[in-house]
Chains A and B, each alone.
With several copies, the nearest count.
Chain A
Amino acid sequence: MPEANYSKGEIMAAAGAREIKDGQNIVVGLGLPQVAALLAKNTHAPNISMINEQGVVGFSPVDPAVGMADPRMWYKATYFNSFIGTLGSFLHRGKVDIGFLGALEVDQFGNMNSTMVGGPGNTIRHFTGSGGANDIASLAKNIMIIMRHEKRKLRAAVQYITSPGYLGEGNLRQSTGLKGGGPWRVITDKAVLGFDRARGRMKLLSIHPGVELDDVLENTGFELLRDEQLPATVPPTAEELKLLREVIDPTGMYI
């Protein structure tokens, strides 16, 4: 296995960016989602609208930010409003093509937990909660999750459903009344995963160069659907790496 000349963050950003089509409306959060979206915007998708849930649209950050509430994320925004102007008249109106989400845990049905995990004894540890995540998971046409590939994070069942995926096998999501399309991609540091949307289950789509299939399977807490032939994830191009390193994240804060 040749040593790759790119980092895990870089192939994740590149894989995420390639899933984005020009002209789409995309809700992004801090970190790799934003990096992936900016990479797409700087290459094949210059006309995407990036949306920040609390009311910022069309921004073009030039300095690394510490979160969505950091005005660095709002630089050169072309629209300010409130949650109502983003999660309302974009998302609930059915006009968000891709919602990026992170989570503490994701399960085989794409359900996500960002609220709490059990601690020692009967205790719980409480985390960030939903923010807009539940709404985005419920209502966006496609959900893209970017996360580390670890068995404790990719679980058979999450401990708390903060943000619904397919909820369970079959058409449970639709019968529950959820209008968005549901989970669509999970980009990890080992693979690109997708979903069999009819069955509501996670499926392995490609493995990053240099990663073994067993490594993926062992670090996943449930059985992944997969085709017999598994392609390798296309690695980042020289142009993409140059953009990532020199323009989008020059201080290496996220990648």
Chain B
Amino acid sequence: MVKLNKIRSLSEAVASVRDGSHLFLSGFAISRNAIAVAHELIRQNKRELTLSQCIGAMDADLLVGAGAVKRYIYGGGSLDRFGPLWNINRAIEQGAIEVDEFSGLSMALRFLGGSLGLPCIPIQSLLGSDILKNLLNKEVPEVKVTECPFTGEKMVLLKTLQPDVAFVHVQKADCTGNAIIQGPRWDEDAAKAADQIVIVADEIIPTELTPFLVEEVRIPAGRVSMVVHQPYGAHPTSLYGVYDYDREHLTEYASMARTPDGMQEYLDRYVRGVKDFSAYLEAVGGLEKMIRIKADALKKY
């Protein structure tokens, strides 16, 4: 039986993104980031993007640093102990991007509601905070303080989120789009909230194998538009069970991103100045580095 082959090249998949789109990228701090996608979005000079994430990550920081982002909707974030999200914090401080700042769970519920096609969803955190005060002061309200009509409890009603395209880096996928995510999956609902899902898989598995791994399939083929095969596509962030984060390169990034000039130099050296993601992988240490960060079979990092 012929199976629909959704495999596309990274550049084809990214070329389908229109300027001004609302994108979701799968990163969480320094884990399972859609780094290859962020690089290609920058190389293809995509502009005026809206990005949304539960927790900010390096993939978003790269895009903000490259000036590709108009609006960022998120719940806070960092590069863990490697440092803050320098570009995002700087853009917020300078008013260079529009920012809607929420909490982790309020973003997660907005995505969950979006994944279910619900127009709104309630939450009972945010109340009393300056996060809420800031959001209520905005002209385009996406939050409303109200009461549950059944219990009378106070609650915050949130408009749900449905990105145009979600780029989700995963450990394995088959060519029809069934995607396996191992470890925590902070991005599962956000992916399903999106109108189009592009799976970026470190490994492509044969469709015959999928039923045997069914308990680990987190995004079903029927929701997936394209599949990109991109080994090490999350580098320098970690891919649980496949490779560890690259401590050396993250340290270099955090140090260069500290200043606008340093960030431009980083982009020139590793993103705009290289032909493609393979050339980036060579530039950061190639095969030798990839062997060094290979995950231990038991520890998974």
A70, B221: Cβ atoms closer than 8 Å: no
Indicate if A222 sits at the interface (CB-CB under 8 A). no
Q: A46-B3, A93-B116 are in contact. Are A131 and B128 (CB under 8 A)?
A: no
Tell me, rounded to whole Å, the shortest Cβ–Cβ distance linking A113 to chain B: 8
> Please, which residues of chain A bring their CB within 8 A of the CB of B154?
176-177
- In contact, B117 and A92 (Cβ under 8 angstroms): yes
Q: How far is the CA of A130 from the CA of B207 in the complex (A)?
A: 34
CB distance from B57 to the nearest CB of A (A): 8
Question: In the assembly, what is the distance between CA of A60 and CA of B96, in Å?
Answer: 42
What B residues does A184 contact at CB under 8 A?
A: none
**A141 neighbours in B (Cβ, 8 Å):** none
In addition to A69-B30, A69-B238, A176-B127, 8 A-B residue pairs with Cβ atoms within 8 Å of each other are A55-B186, A57-B220, A66-B82, A82-B188, A84-B112, A87-B104, A93-B116, A164-B128
Residues in A whose Cβ lies below 8 Å from that of B210: 58, 78
| CB-based contact A88/B115 at 8 Å | yes
Kindly specify which of B176-184, B263-271, B274-282 makes contact with the partner chain. Answer: B176-184
Contacts A/B (CB < 8 Å), 24 sampled: A25-B222, A54-B28, A54-B54, A69-B57, A71-B31, A74-B183, A77-B211, A79-B178, A82-B188, A82-B189, A83-B105, A88-B115, A92-B117, A123-B93, A129-B56, A130-B101, A133-B76, A133-B103, A134-B103, A134-B129, A161-B129, A162-B131, A163-B129, A172-B128
Is A224 positioned at the interface, with any CB of B under 8 Å from its CB? no
| Residues A88 and B109 in contact, CB atoms below 8 Å apart | yes
Given contacts A69-B28, A71-B301, A79-B217, contact A135 B178 (CB under 8 A): no
Q: Which of A47, A83, A133 has the most CB of B within 10 A?
A: A83
Q: In the complex, which residue of chain B has the Cβ closest to the Cβ of A137?
A: B125
Q: Mark B18-48, 1 if CB is under 8 A from A, else 0.
A: 0000000000111100000000000000000
Known: A68-B29, A123-B93, A126-B89. A138 touches B115 (CB 8 A): no
By the criterion CB–CB under 8 Å, are A178 and B127 in contact?
yes
CB–CB A161/B80 < 8 A = no
A57, A70, A84, A125: the one within 8 Å of B245 (CB): A70
Q: Range of interface residues on chain A? A: 35 or more
> Is B297 at the interface (CB under 8 A from chain A)?
no
Check A127–B115 contact: CB distance below 8 A: no
Cβ–Cβ contact A128 & B105, under 8 A: no
Complexed CA–CA distance, A179 and B101 (Å): 22
- Docked pose: A83 CA to B116 CA in angstroms: 11
Inter-chain contacts of B259 with A (CB < 8 A): none
In the complex, A167 has a CB within 8 A of chain B: yes
Query: Could you say which residues of chain B place their CB within 8 Å of the CB of A210?
Result: none
A46→B127 contact, CB < 8 A: no
B2 within 8 A of A: yes
| Cα A203 to Cα B89 with chains together (Å) | 34
